[in-house]
Amino acid sequence: MNSLMIAAILLVLLGLAYQVGWSRSRALATSGGGRFHSRFHYHGALVAIWAVAPAALILGLWALFGQTVSASYVQSLLPVELVSAGGNPLATAISRVRALASGYGVAGEVADYEAAAADALARFQLIVTLIVVGSAAACGILALLFARRRITPRLRARNQVERAITLLLVACSAIAILTTVGIVASLVSEAIRFFTFVNPLDFFFGTVWNPVFSSTGGGSGRYGLLPLLWGTTMIAIIAMLVALPIGLMTAIYLNQYAPRGVRAVVKPIVEILAGIPTIVYGFFALTTVGPFLSGFGAMIGLDIRGTSALTAGLVMGIMIIPFISSLSDDILSQVPTSLRDGSYGLGATQSETIRRVLLPAALPGIVGAFLLAVSRAIGETMIVVLAAGNSPVLRANPLEPTSTVTVSIVNQLTGDTDFTGPQSLVAFALGLTLFVITLCLNVVALYIVRRFREQYD
Amino acid sequence: MNQVLTSRSALEMSATHSKDALASHQTVRTPDPDAHPSRLRADGVSVFYGDKQALFDVSIDIPEKSVSALIGPSGCGKSTFLRCINRMNDTIEGCKVTGDITLDGQNLYDGNLDVVELRARIGMVFQKPNPFPKSIFENVAYGPKIHGLARNKTDLEEIVVTSLQKAGLFEEVKDRLHSPGTGLSGGQQQRLCIARAMAVGPEVILMDEPCSALDPIATAIIEELIDELRSNYTIVIVTHSMQQAARVSQKTAFFHLGKLIEEGPTEAIFTNPREKRTQDYITGRIG
């Protein structure tokens, strides 16, 4: 009894219920039941909702709790001493029994009690599945019959279907919100675990990042956030120094100067930049921009490393250009033409109009776009992993390698990790820090953008 | 019902009529012996938006130091013609203007003419009040600043105050010159825009339905202002309201379907129109 079949049964139930509701209401109407409040397909949909909802609820509960139930059943079949020991051996035993029951087989000798438990589990699972599917189907049919009996000309099926659709939509958006809450909760709880190993003051104000891997927890390794935060900030500043002027001027050109034909060609091309995967920007930084910069540095007598804050920042800036330019373009388009005309009407030139009227009017929106771009820059990972040089040392020179918060998260979580020591738990503290920073930036940016919109709509 | 039918048939009649007249279109002109001399002249002006012709061969003299009203139903080309006079149509992509418009004998569409200088001489007030999102003072100071009309701060302040006074707004805003211009009422905003236009020291002021977004009281104040301004400025006003044209203007030009149908002294146009379409429009049968 696999999920495909269950889905098929649900679909059949859905179609059947719809058909029943539709034909019942139609039959009532033609036999002179009076004028129907709702059209027949609303009655069909209502019966279908009634029939499918309880069945889906039962199946959903089973999907959520079925594993737990079967695990406790297996436990009851296993020898007492194994169960009371708990921990890893018990979990291994349970998964071995499960594998045997499903017929995949396991490595090594199969103990007698395992084989017996597997047999019992297989029977148990079959019975439970039959019960669950059977009860789901029965509930579905019962609800269908009930809903069918409710059909009268006065029944407000349309309104009820609309309400059910609203509920469905609310449920979907709730999933997005709950996911966010879940992510934040897991970040917070793991970060709190990290802070049981490391003093928060040492983390937030420490100037040395040296997470020595050791087998036991304790004080080994130093987890100072500042070098990483500084690396992130420096790269973001370089990126914005590149992206803001270029992006803004691109937007001004496209919005104010470019003839329609040019705009139709240039705008999509600029936006293609936004579609390039960041890992590809990473290659580009590592293999093209880095060597070029160090060669250029050698020419003018500067020691520029191939992987440095400068390389990563430049390439990240290029990545952000389309983001700034298309947001600013939208914002400039929102400035009413009447302001532009008013300025031209006074004899202002195009650049005077842009500098003195358009940009000041669009400034709040552009600041908002800027902040959104900054929060993208500090959350960006792939470019800095490849091009920043992974050197978490606190130094001001952008020509030297550096490291960022995101890079350190990647380093701490790749390879063989168990989530018991500060070496890997620190990733959650870093992630939380990053999350809070970008959240603040986004909130401020959205607030500014919204205030700006209200001004002209 | 009956009335709707009449007005539609009148419109259709005039439409077919104008099609016949397309080849040889003649504006009916009533000369005004008392009119001021004209320094602003349009001669055979046609305007195209892409392939579509919006204005057909318009010729008219605008007398100085008086108010000329351009009237006609929506889409008749009166605003298009107005925007030709200070070359605002330049900002519209695909717009082409042929014919001559001259100010003191100089062709405004001459390649050598600097459009910035032109717009300093011919100011414009728009349909919707459009103060910049700056302070009241900065709104009026905008033009003098970009044209470098003030040598120092005192000069600039004087220009701003005089312009606000001329627009009849100074008394109302003198205590809050540095608060945002967008915070004023609609009528005050429009007078601010008039002050802003006058601060540059223009000879001609073009007004594109300046009262259409205002309430009757604000409208009355603006109309009074226009009447005062005409002793110093040449004013061309586009209006939807025939009463307004009759109240404020000395000369009226009636546009229909992109053509100048009839022009003459306002009184003559409104009391004794010689063209049937003019008569239909001012009696409310087309438009």
Q: Are B49 and B92 in contact (CB under 8 A)?
A: yes
Residue B1 belongs to some domain of the structure: no
CA distance A363 to chain B (A): 11
Q: Which pLDDT value is given to residue A126?
A: 87
B118: nearest Cα among A355, A348, A338: A348
B57 versus B23: the higher-pLDDT residue is: B57
Q: Which pLDDT value is given to residue B69?
A: 95
Q: Which chain B residue lies closest to A356 (C-alpha atoms)? A: B142
CA distance A59 to chain B (A): 60
Q: Which pLDDT value is given to residue A44?
A: 92
Expressed in angstroms, the distance from the first to the final Cα of chain B is: 17
Instruction: Tell me the average pLDDT across A415-422.
Output: 72
CATH 1.10.3720.10 domain position(s) in chain A: 222-452
Instruction: Tell me the average pLDDT across B79-99.
Output: 90
Contact B126 A338 (CB under 8 A): yes
Instruction: Tell me the average pLDDT across B116-132.
Output: 92
Structure tokens at A167: 């509920």
**Of the candidates A338, A347, A360, which has its C-beta nearest B116's C-beta?**
A347
Structure tokens at B163: 């312009």
Residue B173 belongs to some domain of the structure: yes
Residue B121 belongs to some domain of the structure: yes
Q: Which chain A residue lies closest to B114 (C-alpha atoms)? A: A347
Whole-prediction pTM value? 0.74
How far apart CA A86 and CA A94 sit, in angstroms, is 11
As for how many domains chain B has, the answer is 1
Residue A456 has pLDDT above 60, yes or no: no
Q: Which pLDDT value is given to residue A103?
A: 76
Cβ atoms within 10 Å of B127's Cβ, excluding its own = 18
Identity of the amino acid at B154: T
- Which has the minimum average pLDDT: A149-153, A281-285, B135-139? A149-153
Residue B20 has pLDDT above 70, yes or no: no
A354: nearest Cα among A242, A455, A255, A240: A255
Contacts of A72 (CB under 8 A, 6+ apart): none
CA distance B13 to chain A (A): 36
pLDDT band at B15, cuts 50/70/90? Answer: very low
From chain B, the residues in CB contact with A339 under 8 A are 130, 132-133
| Residue A336 touches partner B, C-beta closer than 8 Å | yes
**Of the candidates B119, B128, B193, which has its C-beta nearest A347's C-beta?**
B119
Instruction: Tell me the average pLDDT across B168-195.
Output: 92
Cβ atoms within 10 Å of A297's Cβ, excluding its own = 17
From chain B, the residues in CB contact with A343 under 8 A are 132, 142
pLDDT band at A455, cuts 50/70/90? Answer: low
Residue B234 belongs to some domain of the structure: yes
Q: Which pLDDT value is given to residue B143?
A: 93
CATH assignment at residue B196: 3.40.50.300
B242: nearest Cα among B211, B217, B200, B275: B211
Residue A110 has pLDDT above 80, yes or no: no
pLDDT band at B10, cuts 50/70/90? Answer: very low
From chain B, the residues in CB contact with A347 under 8 A are 115-120, 143, 146-147, 200
| Residue A346 touches partner B, C-beta closer than 8 Å | yes
Fold for the domain defined by A222-452: MetI-like fold (1.10.3720)
Contact A346 B143 (CB under 8 A): yes
Q: Which pLDDT value is given to residue A238?
A: 95
Contact B88 A356 (CB under 8 A): no
Contact A348 B91 (CB under 8 A): no
Contact B142 A361 (CB under 8 A): no
Contact A348 B142 (CB under 8 A): yes
Parallel, antiparallel or unpaired: strands B38-49 and B95-103: antiparallel
pLDDT in tens, A203-245: 898 888 888 655 444 456 788 899 999 999 999 999 999 999 9
How far apart CA B275 and CA B94 sit, in angstroms, is 33
Instruction: Tell me the average pLDDT across A155-170.
Output: 92
pLDDT in tens, A361-383: 888 888 888 998 999 899 888 99
| Residue A457 touches partner B, C-beta closer than 8 Å | no
Q: Which pLDDT value is given to residue B16?
A: 44
| Residue A340 touches partner B, C-beta closer than 8 Å | yes
Instruction: Tell me the average pLDDT across A301-318.
Output: 89
How far apart CA A124 and CA A70 sit, in angstroms, is 8
Instruction: Tell me the average pLDDT across A411-420.
Output: 76
Q: Which pLDDT value is given to residue B124?
A: 94
Contact A348 B116 (CB under 8 A): yes
Residue B158 has pLDDT above 90, yes or no: yes
The DSSP-derived string for B257-273 is TTEEEEEEEHHHHHHS-
Percent residues over pLDDT 90 in chain B: 62
Instruction: Tell me the average pLDDT across A73-80.
Output: 81
Residue B11 belongs to some domain of the structure: no
The DSSP-derived string for A170-224 is HHHHHHHHHHHHHHHHHHHHHHHHHHHHS-HHHHHH---EE----SS-SS-SEE-
Q: Which pLDDT value is given to residue A37?
A: 85
Classify B282 as helix, strand or coil. helix
CA distances to A33, A101, A400 from A159, in Å: 20, 49, 66
pLDDT in tens, B213-263: 888 998 999 999 999 999 999 999 999 888 899 999 999 999 999 999 999
Instruction: Tell me the average pLDDT across B23-42.
Output: 83
Residue B8 has pLDDT above 50, yes or no: no
Structure tokens at A384: 């800095």
Parallel, antiparallel or unpaired: strands B259-265 and B38-49: unpaired
Instruction: Tell me the average pLDDT across B90-95.
Output: 85
The DSSP-derived string for A345-400 is HTT--HHHHIIIIIHHHHHHHHHHHHHHHHHHHHH--HHHHHHSB--------TTS
Instruction: Tell me the average pLDDT across A48-60.
Output: 90
Residue B136 has pLDDT above 50, yes or no: yes
From chain B, the residues in CB contact with A342 under 8 A are 126, 130-132, 193, 196
Residue B160 belongs to some domain of the structure: yes
From chain B, the residues in CB contact with A340 under 8 A are 91
Q: Which pLDDT value is given to residue A154?
A: 86
Range of the domain at B68: 39-282
Residue B10 belongs to some domain of the structure: no
Residue B57 belongs to some domain of the structure: yes
Q: Which pLDDT value is given to residue A66?
A: 83
Instruction: Tell me the average pLDDT across B124-135.
Output: 92
CB pairs under 8 A between A and B: 68
| Residue A232 touches partner B, C-beta closer than 8 Å | no
Residue A441 has pLDDT above 80, yes or no: yes
Contact A349 B116 (CB under 8 A): yes
Residue B1 has pLDDT above 70, yes or no: no
Contact A360 B133 (CB under 8 A): yes
CA distances to A43, A150, A152, A159, A293 from A162, in Å: 12, 17, 18, 5, 61
> In the predicted model, what is the mean pLDDT of chain A?
87
pLDDT band at B184, cuts 50/70/90? Answer: very high
**Of the candidates A339, A347, A360, which has its C-beta nearest B130's C-beta?**
A339
